[in-house]
Chains A and B, each alone.
Chain A
C-alpha cells in the first residue's frame, strides 16, 4: 500500500467539517508554520520537498515561490487555480468536495510564505456545490481563528475569497484566470510580464493548482526532506491520478510517484485492469492535452524499460514515443474504442474552448475539428491525414498560450501512432460507421531497438 498524504483521512466520516478535520491533526501545519517558521523557511521547505506543480506544467513550486517579486508597498497575491476543466482530470474537484480544509490550510501556509494578505480560490463556474463547500469551510476556519485578523495571535492577517469563474477552460490558464478574476474577459495575457512580476491588479502573484497547495500541508507538517523521500528522482511525493475510461475501477487514486504504469492499470490496489476482460488499446496519461500512446508504448518505453508514473518516465522518448504527466488525468481505451472518434472529440473540445485571440488557434482548432469530423464519418480523404499534421504543426508553438499546443498534440500524436486506423476510415468508409478498427497491432511487442553504432 502506498503512502497517502492528501487522502489519508478521506474516508473518515464528516472529514469535510472543521472539527473532524482538526481532530485528525488538521491545521497543525498552519500552527507550525505561523508560530515556528519564517516565510523564507517555508519556501525553503517547499524547495527541499521537490514538489512540482500539479496543474500540468510540473514547474517546481518552491522555485516558483522564490521567484515572486517583492517590491515595497505593493501587495502580493496567492491565487489557487481550481478551474479544473481538462477532459479526463477531476482530482481537484474531489479534493475540494471531500476535504476542503486541506486546501484552506494549504492556502493559509502558502499565503503566509508569500506575504499575501488577500488570497483567492478561483473555482470553475460549474462547480457550484464545491463553491458552497469551500465557503462553508472558510467560515468555519474563520470562526476558529485560522482566517481573518491576527491569526492565532501571530499578527498575521489573511482574507480568503472564493471566486466562481464562468466555466471556461481557458480561464484555467494562469493569466486568463487573472484577467477573469479582475472581472475582465478571460483572455490569456501576452507574456512577459509574468504573474510573478505583474499578475493580479498588476501586483506580484503566484498561481498554483489545488493539489499543489494541498501538498504543502504534509510538506510543512513532516518537513520537506521527508516528503522528498517518496518518489523517484525529480518526481517526489504523491500525486492524485484521476483514472477514467475502460477500467475495472476508475476513480481517484493517490499514488506514490514512481509506481509502474502497468501496476497502476492492472493491480487490484489501483485500477484493477481493463473492464469486461477486454484488452488495452491506448492511454492518454495526463489529461486530454498530452500525447496519446498505444498500449505497446505505455507499459514499456521504447527501450523496453518499465514506464513509471513519474514526470520523467512518462515523457521518456519525447514526442516520438513518450507522453507527459500533465494534470494526472489517466484515460484508458480498450480495444473497442475508436481513436479517430476520440481525437475528433478532443479537437471539438479545443475548438469550443479556444479564446479566439490568436489566429492559429482560433482558426486552426476549428479546421482540425471539421477535418476530423469528416474522417470519423467516412467522408475523408487520405490527404486529410497529412493536412491535419500540417495544421497542427502550424498551430503548435505559434500561439499566445499553451492551449494551442494542447490542441495540436493530441491530433499529431494520434496520427503518429494510429495512422493505420485513420487510413482505414478513408479506405473503408462503410465499415468505419458500422464497427471499430479494433486493437490491430497496437499492443504488439515492440521490436528491439537497433543497437546504436558507436
Chain B
C-alpha cells in the first residue's frame, strides 16, 4: 500500500495517511464538509459509530473497486481507500438522513436548555440549530429520569443523555477502574454507576468534558452562570498528575469553572485531573497564558471580546493585557 491515500470529500481532494477515517480526512479539509460527530472522540479508543449523525455517502468505493457503498456509512468508523469519493453536504440523501437522526436524538430530549448548564456549549444544541426542524412531530411523553449525584463533584442528569458512550470509554480508559456503564437496553438504557457508587477517581471529572450534552455536569459550577457570560482564559499550572493545561472560565474576577482545552470539534486537547478541575479556583493558582480563542459563531463569543467593557481580570493580568491590547487601548481611550 502506498504511503498516501487520495480521497475527495464533496469534491474537495485531500491526501491522508492510510487507515485514516473519512471523518478525520474531512477534518483535515475543515469547514463545512466536516460531518458532525456526537459520539466519536478521537482520544477515546473504540468510540464512534453510535449516534449516526456523521453518516456520509460513499459514491465511489476506491480506485480499485469503484462501486458505491450500498448504504450510508458512519464516517467516523469507515477508513478511506485510495480514490474514494465521499459526499457529505452535497448529497441530499445524507442531509435527509441527518435530519432524521437529529429528530431522533431530540424526541426524548427534555429541551430544557434554559436551565441547563451545558447550554451555549452543547453539541446537541448546535446540531439541532443547524440540521433540525423547527417543530417536533413527537407527541408522546418524553423519557424521564431522576437526577443523581455521582460523587460530590459530578451530577448525572440522565434525561438529557444521548447515549454516546463517551463517558463510558473515559471511565474505561482514563480512570483506573471503571465503575459506571450502561444499564438496561433500548430507549430505557441509562448511564449508571454500580449501585450509585460515587465516581471517585483522579480523572473522573473528564466525563464532564467529553459529554456532548448537559447530562454530566460540574456540580461546582452548577447554576452559577451561563457559559456565554463567562470569559475563557488559557492557563496552566505545575501538576504532578496531569498536564495542568486548562481553560479557566471567569466571571468578573472569579474563576467559576475549570475545564480541559477544547478544540474546534469539542474535544479536549489533553485530559486533566480532578485537582486542577475542582480544587484550583483562584487566579493565584494559575499561570495565565491569554484569552482563549472562541469562534465567532459561538454564543460564548457574544459577550466579551466584542464588548467595550473588558473583564476585570484583564486589567490586572499582564499576559492578558498584552493579548487584549487593542481592546484595552480602545477601552482606556474611552
Contact = CB atoms under 8 A, between A and B. Distances in A.
B187 A363 contact: yes
Interface in B179-196: 181-182, 184-189
B96 to A, nearest CB: 8
Interface in A117-163: none
B187 A394 contact: no
B185 A170 contact: yes
Contacts of A360: 52, 100-101, 104
Interface stretch (B24-32, B69-77, B224-232, B313-321): B69-77
B97 interface: yes
A364 interface: yes
Nearest to B77: A190
Which of B97, B105, B184, B185 has most chain A Cβ within 10 Å?
B185
A366 interface: yes
Interface in B56-72: 71-72
For chain A, give the interface size range: 20 to 34
A370 interface: yes
B107 A363 contact: yes
A179 interface: no
A358 B50 contact: yes
B74 A190 contact: yes
Nearest to A363: B104
Contacts, number: 86
B49 interface: yes
Given A354-B187, A399-B52, A364 B104 contact: yes
A170, A356, A359, A362: residue with the most chain B Cβ atoms closer than 10 Å: A359
Nearest to B187: A366
A353 B72 CA distance: 24
A234 B206 CA distance: 55
B55 interface: yes
Contacts of B107: 363, 367
A357 B101 contact: no
A83 to B, nearest CB: 15
B186 A356 contact: yes
Contacts of B138: 367
B140 interface: yes
A445 interface: no
A168 B52 contact: no
A420 B188 CA distance: 33
A168 B103 CA distance: 27
A354 B104 contact: no
A359 B185 contact: no
A400 B51 CA distance: 10
Interface string B98-119: 0011011101100000000000
Nearest to A397: B71
B72 A363 contact: no
Contacts of B104: 359-360, 362-364, 367, 394
B137 interface: yes
B276 interface: no
A351 B187 contact: yes
Given A367-B107, A370-B140, A358 B51 contact: yes
Contacts of B189: 356, 362
Contacts of A355: 185-186
B163 interface: yes
A132 B132 CA distance: 53
A356 B187 contact: yes
B33 interface: no
Interface in A39-57: none
B170 interface: no
B321 to A, nearest CB: 47
Interface string B153-174: 0000000001101000000000
B105 A363 contact: yes
A38 interface: no
Given A190-B74, A360-B104, A367-B107, A400 B186 contact: no
A366 B50 contact: no
Contacts of B140: 367, 370
B326 to A, nearest CB: 44
Interface of B: 48-53, 55, 71-72, 74, 77, 97, 100-101, 103-105, 107-108, 137-138, 140, 162-163, 165, 181-182, 184-189
Interface of A: 168, 170, 185, 190, 351-360, 362-367, 370, 387, 393-394, 397-400
Among all A-B residue pairs, the 10 with the closest Cβ atoms: A394-B100, A190-B49, A356-B189, A363-B104, A354-B186, A356-B186, A366-B187, A397-B71, A370-B140, A359-B104
